[in-house]
Chains A and B, each alone.
Chain A
Amino acid sequence: DTAVSQTPKYLVTQMGNDKSIKCEQNLGHDTMYWYKQDSKKFLKIMFSYNNKELIINETVPNRFSPKSPDKAHLNLHINSLELGDSAVYFCASSGVWVQSGANVLTFGAGSRLTVL
């Protein structure tokens, strides 16, 4: 059983389109994250949700909208895609927020988005 699963694994689309990436975790974790890894492999946090509530919202364009229907799911919707959005997007989860300083993140395998 995959602990953190993301779909789709690969996504190729045209500029201006709207797309979504889904993430599900079966670890019973309370906190979920979206990270963006650029072409130079640099990792940057985008969002974090704890029990369906937005906790961290970095300086991400508002074309990106996370949605957490329940604490096991955190989806990422992107409107009006731009060339610069091409990257690998990683979903992750960790345990109880109060103890999150020491908690380990479990990552999904990533979703490679290519915008043409």
Chain B
Amino acid sequence: AQSVAQPEDQVNVAEGNPLTVKCTYSVSGNPYLFWYVQYPNRGLQFLLKYITGDNLVKGSYGFEAEFNKSQTSFHLKKPSALVSDSALYFCAVRALSGSARQLTFGSGTQLTVLP
């Protein structure tokens, strides 16, 4: 079975500092990896995805993520955090093959950017 782990429930950073939200995954075969963001009382919004190719993926709002196959990780990063980045972030994985076609989400990480 595929799974996603987000080891931190909460991440606090000061505005202007770099931020990292961690994600590790487990899946049979090669993965599709995604990051979604949820603002209060809203649905999830897509940020970025890794399918194949360059391990560094750039997404919306200045976010990027690095796929590391040996560490089975897909950490979300941003060089300079904004207060408006404060939200709940979800990592998700889907297997390329087999019957595990649905998306599996991590438990979410609440990011708070302090002014």
Which A residues are CB-close (under 8 A) to B94?
Answer: 101
Contact call A107/B49, Cβ cutoff below 8 A: no
Contact call A56/B101, Cβ cutoff below 8 A: yes
Contact call A43/B105, Cβ cutoff below 8 A: yes
Contact call B43/A101, Cβ cutoff below 8 A: no
Contact of A104 among B41, B49, B102, B108 (CB under 8 A): B49
Contact call B34/A110, Cβ cutoff below 8 A: no
Q: A40-B107, A109-B41 are in contact. Are A100 and B101 (CB under 8 A)?
A: yes
If over half of B's interface residues share one DSSP class (helix, strand or loop), that class is named, otherwise mixed; here it is strand
What is the interface of chain B, defined by CB distance below 8 A to chain A? 32, 34, 36, 38, 41-46, 49, 51, 88, 90, 94-96, 101-103, 105, 107-108
What is the interface of chain A, defined by CB distance below 8 A to chain B? 4, 40-45, 48, 55-56, 90, 92, 100-102, 104-110
Instruction: Give 7 nearest A-B pairs by CB, closest first.
Output: A107-B43, A43-B105, A107-B44, A104-B46, A41-B108, A109-B43, A102-B51
Contact call B43/A108, Cβ cutoff below 8 A: yes
Contact call A42/B41, Cβ cutoff below 8 A: no
CB distance from A74 to the nearest CB of B (A): 15
CB distance from A23 to the nearest CB of B (A): 11
What CA separation (Å) do A90 and B103 show in the bound complex? 14
Q: Which residue on A lies nearest to B38, using beta carbons?
A: A41
Contact call B103/A105, Cβ cutoff below 8 A: yes
